[in-house]
Amino acid sequence: NLRMEDKLKEELKLLEKNYPDAKYYLNFSNPLELLVAAILSAQCTDVIVNKVTSKLFQKYKTAKDYMEADQFELEEDIKPVTFFRNKSKYIKKTCLILEDEYNGKVPSSMNELIELPGISRKTANVIQQNGFNIVTGVVVDVHVIRTTQRLGWTKNKNPEKIEQDLMKLFPKDKWKKIPHLLKNHGRAVCKAPIPICSKCFLSKLCLKIGVIKFN
């Protein structure tokens, strides 16, 4: 019986081996683009977000551009995205704050980021890690929640508590990579509601917590 610590190391090694190209999934070329893409991505697929932003980022280059954009026009520009009306308001409000308080730039601290409209702790983590290479936590999305519970890495359901558990379990140099690996795994194998355990390279190690039936 593997010790918990060895089990975790082995599981992480297998995830890294099986998803060598795992990386952040939204397209962006600067922190402002990342911030906008991250707001758009809430409860929306990255495929749709990347499609929308490929045109959006050519049209709006600065926080001022978004701030001054016509509300209805911005809504039209992001219409394929879920909750596009709310998200267009978040983007405009956030960019107004960026212009007023941060010289049009995206701040890099957690405390400043979570004050912005439409930015949760998860999104702030995403922006810090991928926009500024500052790692202060672990991004916990639906795939991370599901896979970590099944693997027995956490007993918590609350994302912030799961984040705390993962920060205790893994060294800091893995914090940025783990969510990308788990997202890939959650999409390919450890699916909701029924995982494909028969094809899973972690099957022998996985505790399969909460998995009632599997393929």
List, by residue number, the catalytic residues: 122, 141
Determine if the peptide bond prior to 193 is cis (ω within 30°): yes
- Other residues' Cβ atoms within 10 Å of the Cβ of residue 158: 11
Supply the DSSP symbol for 210: T
Supply the DSSP symbol for 106: P
Cβ-count burial 162-201 (b if 16+ within 10 Å, e if not): bbbbbeebbeeeebbbbbbbbbbbbeebbbeeebebeebe
